[in-house]
Homo-oligomer: A and B are copies of this chain.
Amino acid sequence: MRVGTKQTKHGGRPRKFDEATALGAMQRQIWTTGLSGVSLDGIARSAGLNRPSLAAAFGDKDAIYAKAAAQYAAMMDARVSEALSLDDLGSALRAAFDAAIDIYTGGGPDGCFVICTAPAEALTNPICRSILDQSLESIDAAFLSRLQLDERRVSANPDELPLVAALLGATLHSVALRARAGWSRERLRSLAAGAIRQVIGET
């Protein structure tokens, strides 16, 4: 009844790979090809380990996807939350979009890991569907909690804050898709800035 990551008894042969590093390599692979677009062989190769080791350490394809998505979500959440912690609402929102756009167009594969890979599998894979649903929900929640700190600055009734948050979330979804289609940082930033202008005043 072991899960495969920590040791219960004493010795054992040491691993030749770092778990987070290997997961990062697999995440990048799945991010590029989608989950159905790569085989376990391909995932194992991209992480530099063989299939039995892969299975023992991370489980089957679904478990690998779940772990890669969790690592991605944690990274994303950390960066966006830090950006949103800026004092000025406009600055905070701009910084949040900038952080996301950097990830969507930076060193890694274009677009958002979840938004670009989970939808294709969502109808046939409950795990992917659940990850998609939770990710969309958490994006809305992050924007909403930040907006609630500055109700006055929002050009809408207070009871419409959830709607405004969802529209900011929608903009982020769209940015992720457009990045996947090849849009440049500049065009994406311009779109995000426009959305923010619509939400708060021209301040």
Mark A residues whose CB is within 8 Å of B: 32-37, 109-111, 115-117, 119-124, 129, 132-133, 136, 156, 160, 163-164, 166-167, 169-171, 173-175, 177-178, 180-182, 190-191, 194-195, 198
Contact A110 B136 (CB under 8 A): no
Number of copies: 2
B182 x A129 contact (CB < 8 A) = yes
B181 with A123: CB separation less than 8 A:
no
Cβ-defined contact, B119 with A180, below 8 A: yes
Nearest-Cβ distance from residue A48 to partner chain B, whole angstroms: 21
User: Can you add 7 more A-B contacts, CB < 8 Å, to A116-B122, A119-B120, A170-B195?
Assistant: A33-B124, A111-B119, A117-B120, A132-B180, A167-B167, A167-B198, A174-B174
Do A132 and B37 touch across chains, with their CB atoms under 8 A apart? Answer: no
Please state if A194 and B123 are interface contacts (CB–CB under 8 Å). no
**Chain B contacts for A160, CB-based, 8 A:** 194
